């Protein structure tokens, strides 16, 4: 058995037995992020991670009484040594590193506070009692030993500040800020059978480029808050698996959607629904928009079959317009229209989320509504645009 397969099997067994006590519960991710090899310009700044402490803040979907943390060393060629990990309720959405000290819980891994992740390994902490409430901001503090300075697994587009303090410490008063996440992958909750997750695979428009740092106002956050307020959907989490610059087919930043789909969607803990909202970066770099559109449709069909084989309902998000951006030409626009027409009319997806209709200009349908422009790039929405996207989704899709 090769190392990657062994790691996957070990992780599956550890997660599926994580809370096994014959109590008819399941493991569901209430928060997760897509991981990749971190690019050099997004690596941790001085004093770096080795021998130091890192506090990262995430905002969950639903709550629970028993949680566990998944960490990933998947893109590292070297071991990552962890001296200790704690979780606590954060006092902000990322604006500072302060926590409610009395809520601090130390995590263990097979009963030990320290753990060394092998290259390519994914690990899950032992479950702990923790009063997690809906949309809580959770501070995850990792104390590092030896860490690679070049091969790092993480998520560059956190839209949330993290804090690096020198040494093995919980004093972050003089910490260095960095708007990236490193090594954290998912927060898992012991939940009843009625709970589930919505896994969203996407690019920077899902990752949240154009939102406000430390405000947790991506379109997926807007959707999560709406779901929690609805009696019929309050037991669903929204898992943002967007990666900035990501492509479905080839190229782009991070592993392609095709290559990460099984890990991020199909094998994600507790997934009942999936949303596919990818393709604009493929079209934006395409020589032939129609050819790329057909390849995207073929990839969507594979994703749909895999989801259905697992009993997951899957929805297609239409690609928003980008005229005015350097991605745009007539061929690529024709490809976008082909993809969107197929999503809307083929019936292959279990439903349609029409982001194109939500954010396009009513008078010029091939460009964004100017009210939703971020930095006038004619590609990424601003915070108002993301709010519009999140509010445009029909919640009955998830009832």
Instruction: Say yes or no to pLDDT of 89 above 90.
Output: yes
Residue 297: closest CA among 250, 341, 245: 341
CB atoms within 10 A of CB 396: 10
pLDDT at residue number 24: 81
The arithmetic mean of pLDDT across residues 51-78, rounded, is 98
Q: Where are the beta strands (DSSP E) in 119-158?
A: 122-124, 128-132, 137-144, 153-155
Spatial contact of 338 and 329, defined as CB atoms under 8 Å apart: no
Instruction: Say yes or no to pLDDT of 293 above 60.
Output: yes
Q: What is the pLDDT of residues 306-342, one digit of tens each?
A: 999 999 999 999 999 999 999 999 999 999 999 999 9
The arithmetic mean of pLDDT across residues 215-234, rounded, is 98
Q: What are phi and psi of 246, to 5 degrees?
A: -75, 145
**Domain segments of the chain as ranges:** 29-187, 194-398
Tell me the CATH number of domain 194-398, given options 3.40.50.1110, 3.40.190.170, 3.20.20.70, 3.40.50.300.
Answer: 3.40.50.1110
Distances (CA, A) of 28 to 63, 237, 248: 11, 8, 26
**What's the rounded Cα separation, in Å, for the pair 32 and 232?**
23
pLDDT at residue number 16: 47
pLDDT at residue number 11: 54
Helix axes 289-309, 330-345, angle to 10 degrees: 30
pLDDT at residue number 47: 97
Spatial contact of 125 and 12, defined as CB atoms under 8 Å apart: no
The arithmetic mean of pLDDT across residues 174-185, rounded, is 98
> Rounded to two decimals, what is the model's pTM?
0.94
Q: What is the pLDDT of residues 13-63, one digit of tens each?
A: 455 445 554 568 999 999 999 999 999 999 999 999 999 999 999 999 999
390: enclosing H helix or E strand: helix 383-392
242: enclosing H helix or E strand: strand 236-242
Q: What average pLDDT does the structure give for the chain? A: 95
Instruction: Say yes or no to pLDDT of 9 above 70.
Output: no
Instruction: Say yes or no to pLDDT of 398 above 60.
Output: yes
Q: What is the pLDDT of residues 369-387, one digit of tens each?
A: 999 999 999 999 999 999 9
Q: What percent of the chain has pLDDT over 70?
A: 94
Report angle CA 157, 160, 165 to the nearest 5 degrees. Answer: 110
pLDDT at residue number 19: 54
Q: Kindly report whether the peptide bond that precedes residue 260 is cis, defined as omega within 30 degrees of 0.
A: no
Q: What is the pLDDT of residues 122-141, one digit of tens each?
A: 999 999 999 999 999 999 99
């Amino acid at each position: 058995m090769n190392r990657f397969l062994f790691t996957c099997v070990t992780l599956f067994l550890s997660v599926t037995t994580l809370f096994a006590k014959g109590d008819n519960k399941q493991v569901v991710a209430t928060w997760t992020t897509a991981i990749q090899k971190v690019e050099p310009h997004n690596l941790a700044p001085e004093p770096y991670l080795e021998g130091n402490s890192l506090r990262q803040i995430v905002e969950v979907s639903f709550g629970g009484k028993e949680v566990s943390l998944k960490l990933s060393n998947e893109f590292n060629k070297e071991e990552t040594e962890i001296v200790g990990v704690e979780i606590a309720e954060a006092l902000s959405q990322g604006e500072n590193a302060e926590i409610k000290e009395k809520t601090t819980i130390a995590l263990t891994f097979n009963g030990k506070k320290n753990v060394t992740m092998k290259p390519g390994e994914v690990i899950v902490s032992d479950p702990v009692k923790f009063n997690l409430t809906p949309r809580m901001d959770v501070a995850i503090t990792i104390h590092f030993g030896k860490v690679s300075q070049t091969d790092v697994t993480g998520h560059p587009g956190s839209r949330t500040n993290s804090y690096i303090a020198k040494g093995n410490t919980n004093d972050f008063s003089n910490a260095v800020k960095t708007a990236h996440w490193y090594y954290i992958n998912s927060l898992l909750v012991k939940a009843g059978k009625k709970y589930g997750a919505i896994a969203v695979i996407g690019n920077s428009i899902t990752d949240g480029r154009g939102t406000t740092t430390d405000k947790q106002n991506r379109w997926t956050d807007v959707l999560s808050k709406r779901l929690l307020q609805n009696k019929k959907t309050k037991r669903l989490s929204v898992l943002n698996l967007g990666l900035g610059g990501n492509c479905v087919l080839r190229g782009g930043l991070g592993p392609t959607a095709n290559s990460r789909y099984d890990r991020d969607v199909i094998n994600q803990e507790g997934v009942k629904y999936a949303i596919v909202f990818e393709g604009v970066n493929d079209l934006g770099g395409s020589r032939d928009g129609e050819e790329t559109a057909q390849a995207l449709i073929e990839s969507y069909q594979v994703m749909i079959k895999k989801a259905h084989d697992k009993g997951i309902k899957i929805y297609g998000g239409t690609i928003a317009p980008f005229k005015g951006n350097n991605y745009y030409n007539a061929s690529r626009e024709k490809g976008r229209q082909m993809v969107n027409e197929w999503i809307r009319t083929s019936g292959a997806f279990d439903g349609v989320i029409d982001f194109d209709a939500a954010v396009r200009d009513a008078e010029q349908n091939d460009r964004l509504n100017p009210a939703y422009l971020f930095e006038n790039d004619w590609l990424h929405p601003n915070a108002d645009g993301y709010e519009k996207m999140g509010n445009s989704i029909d919640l009955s899709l998830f009832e």
